[in-house]
């Protein structure tokens, strides 16, 4: 701990976002960065707590105090080495992770000003790429082969870990490019796809094989491998099966998000195929991160208005007595996309989609009340009868994803990430990938030797 009093003298400073009037006209990353001097000052605020709750809260088990100290002292290479002991993709998590570590930082719990751990992580990763610290490793091969089905966060995590131990790894994915949700679900203004491509080149140089555009039947896996990892995510979005669902203009969120990312990657779509909000009144059903991504994308496409509705009550700002630490704080989250202009409403359920000539013209919504839970049960939703119609030309369903059911598999087949646990955070998928890679390695050592 280089400066034991820094947390008293140096306030938390976030890099912030590009100006709204500028960023809504492109899909470039909205988040800015601090210069190296300011970044080191932010790292100095880490108190190197005797019990580092940040480390405890991180699914990957990142060693935050150690890499903060190295960063503060200007030891960027050492900071990267510490960070990558536990995290193979800090350039991803440093941009899109909700930073569970920061929610558990003692400075968050004591004065609501945690260390800027996530931003520091991204800065360390960028310095490593910029300065050439990252060199492809060439592990000695042991003759064992592993197939990883799904090149999303979990699959990439499994592949990197197994490749590092000497196994020959082949990644299969039905999409033309690797990344999964990172590439086809998260907008470029949060994660530029050049960041993914840069890392994939390293993985290829390390010997990982990519078989893209290949659909693998998990019940009929490709032959010639000693073990398999199923990392197929949660492909089925939660539907809203109400009258009018068939109307033109009602889409799943990923139909829009994925298509926009593919367009930015050079693909083209016909007018009939396009899922675009230009000139339309957009309603986003679902109040989570995917819904937020739809808002930012819709605004950039030229929506004339954007409304986001959520069935749950509006959470409080800053602190919620109902979710004290160490629970995840359920508080009002205002993202960069929300700042760009949208109407946000809570306690609304959707009754039916309304249309004319087969096209969406509005959504009938109804206010709901949430009755307190009793005897440990969940709160109960009650319809109030207060209905209204929100005019809309496009509706995006952003209500999460269904946990897939996996078939019975042989002992050499393992399941990782969202495919095993249901939809969750990228950082949790990466962590589970590491755990499953360890299990596969242990299996191969035991069975093949």
Burial class for 95, CB neighbours closer than 10 Å (0-12, 13-18, 19+) = buried
* Torsion angle, alpha carbons of 266, 267, 271, 272, to 10: -160
pLDDT tens-digit series, residues 186-235: 999 999 999 999 999 999 999 999 999 999 999 999 999 999 999 999 99
Average pLDDT value for residue range 355-378: 92
pLDDT score of 447: 82
State CA 386 to chain mean position distance.
Answer: 35
Rounded to an integer, what distance in angstroms lies between the CA atom of residue 235 and that of residue 406?
13
Confidence of residue 378 (pLDDT cuts 50, 70, 90): confident
pLDDT tens-digit series, residues 6-23: 999 999 999 999 999 999
pLDDT score of 348: 98
Pick from 72, 64, 80, 122: nearest CA to 97: 122
Q: Does domain 145-235+402-447 have CATH number 1.20.1250.20?
A: no
Whether the link from the prior residue into 290 is cis, omega within 30° of 0, is: no
Q: Which two tokens stand for residue 240?
A: 């809203």
pLDDT tens-digit series, residues 261-300: 999 999 999 999 999 999 999 999 999 999 999 999 999 9
Other C-beta atoms closer than 10 Å to the C-beta of 331 total 13
Whether pLDDT at 55 is above 70: yes
Residue 340's alpha-carbon distances to 85, 116, 263, 316, 317, in angstroms, are 37, 23, 22, 21, 19
pLDDT tens-digit series, residues 159-175: 999 999 999 999 999 99
* Torsion angle, alpha carbons of 39, 41, 46, 48, to 10: 110
Q: Which two tokens stand for residue 36?
A: 């190296």
pLDDT tens-digit series, residues 87-111: 999 999 999 999 999 999 999 999 9
Contact at 8 Å (CB) between 440 and 227? yes
pLDDT score of 375: 77
pLDDT score of 384: 97
Confidence of residue 376 (pLDDT cuts 50, 70, 90): confident
- Residue 341's region, left for phi above 0, alpha for psi from -120 to 50, else beta, is left
Tokens 């306030």, located at residue = 11
Q: Which two tokens stand for residue 301?
A: 């496409």
> What 3-state class would DSSP assign to 410?
coil
Domain map (residue ranges) of the chain: 6-131, 145-235+402-447, 250-397
Pick from 223, 372, 352: nearest CA to 285: 352
Domain range 6-131, CATH class: mainly alpha
Confidence of residue 449 (pLDDT cuts 50, 70, 90): low
Rounded to an integer, what distance in angstroms lies between the CA atom of residue 135 and that of residue 125?
13
pLDDT tens-digit series, residues 240-249: 999 999 999 9
pLDDT score of 1: 61
How much of the chain exceeds pLDDT 70, in percent?
A: 99
DSSP 239: P
CA angle 446, 447, 449 (to 5 degrees): 75
216: Cβ contacts below 8 Å, ≥ 6 apart: 149, 172, 174, 222
State the average pLDDT for the chain.
Answer: 96
pLDDT score of 374: 79
pTM beyond 0.85: the answer is yes
H/E run at residue 440: helix 426-448
Length of the chain in residues, anyone? 449
Q: Domain 250-397 belongs to what architecture?
A: 3-Layer(bba) Sandwich (3.50)
State CA 343 to chain mean position distance.
Answer: 24
284: Cβ contacts below 8 Å, ≥ 6 apart: 253, 291, 294, 295, 298, 306, 307, 308, 309, 342, 395, 396, 398
176: Cβ contacts below 8 Å, ≥ 6 apart: 212, 213
Other C-beta atoms closer than 10 Å to the C-beta of 158 total 33
DSSP 399: S
**Helices vs strands, H then E, count in the chain:** 18, 13
SS3 track for 325-380: CCCCCCCCCCCHHHHCCCEEECCEEEEEEEEECCEEEEEEEEEEEEECCCCCCCCE
Contact at 8 Å (CB) between 200 and 176? no
Confidence of residue 373 (pLDDT cuts 50, 70, 90): confident
pLDDT score of 372: 87
Rounded to an integer, what distance in angstroms lies between the CA atom of residue 351 and that of residue 387?
9
């Amino acid at each position: 701990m280089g400066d034991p009093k820094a947390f008293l003298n140096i306030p938390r400073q976030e890099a912030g976002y590009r100006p709204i009037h500028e960023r809504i006209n492109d899909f470039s990353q909205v988040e800015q960065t601090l210069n190296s001097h300011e970044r080191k000052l932010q790292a100095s605020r880490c108190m190197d707590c005797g019990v580092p709750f940040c480390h405890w809260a991180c699914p990957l088990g990142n060693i935050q105090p150690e890499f903060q100290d190295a960063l503060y002292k200007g030891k960027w290479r050492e900071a990267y080495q510490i960070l990558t002991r536990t995290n193979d993709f800090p350039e991803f998590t440093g941009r899109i992770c909700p930073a569970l570590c920061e929610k558990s930082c003692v400075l968050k719990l004591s004065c609501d000003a945690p260390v800027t751990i996530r931003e520091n992580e991204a800065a360390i990763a960028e310095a490593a790429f910029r300065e050439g610290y990252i060199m492809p490793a060439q592990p000695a091969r042991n003759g064992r082969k592993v197939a990883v089905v799904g090149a999303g966060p979990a699959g990439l995590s499994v592949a990197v870990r197994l490749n590092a131990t000497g196994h020959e790894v082949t990644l299969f994915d039905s999409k033309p490019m690797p990344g999964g949700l990172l590439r086809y679900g998260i907008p470029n203004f949060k994660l530029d796809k050049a960041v993914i491509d840069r890392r994939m080149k390293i993985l290829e140089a390390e010997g990982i094989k990519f078989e893209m555009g290949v659909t693998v039947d998990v019940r009929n896996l490709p032959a010639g491998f000693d073990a398999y990892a199923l990392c197929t995510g949660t492909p089925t979005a939660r539907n809203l099966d109400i009258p009018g669902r068939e109307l033109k203009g009602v889409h799943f969120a990923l139909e829009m998000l994925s298509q926009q990312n593919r367009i930015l990657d050079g693909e083209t779509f016909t007018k009939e195929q396009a899922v675009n909000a230009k000139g339309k009144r957009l309603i986003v059903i679902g109040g989570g991160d995917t819904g937020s991504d739809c808002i930012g994308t819709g605004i950039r496409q030229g929506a004339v208005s954007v409304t986001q509705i959520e069935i749950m009550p509006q959470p409080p700002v800053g602190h919620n007595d109902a979710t004290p630490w160490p629970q995840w704080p359920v508080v009002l989250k205002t993202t960069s996309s929300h700042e760009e202009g949208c109407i946000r409403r809570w306690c609304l359920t959707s009754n039916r989609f309304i249309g004319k000539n087969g096209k969406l013209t509005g959504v009938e919504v109804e206010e709901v009340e949430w009755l307190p839970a009793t005897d440990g049960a969940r709160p109960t939703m009650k319809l109030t009868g207060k209905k209204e119609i929100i005019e809309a030309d496009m509706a995006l369903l952003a209500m999460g994803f269904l946990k897939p059911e996996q078939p019975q598999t042989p002992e050499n087949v393992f399941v990782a990430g969202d495919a095993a646990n249901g939809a969750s955070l990228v950082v949790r998928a990466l962590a589970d990938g590491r755990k499953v890679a360890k299990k596969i390695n242990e299996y191969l050592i035991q069975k093949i030797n």
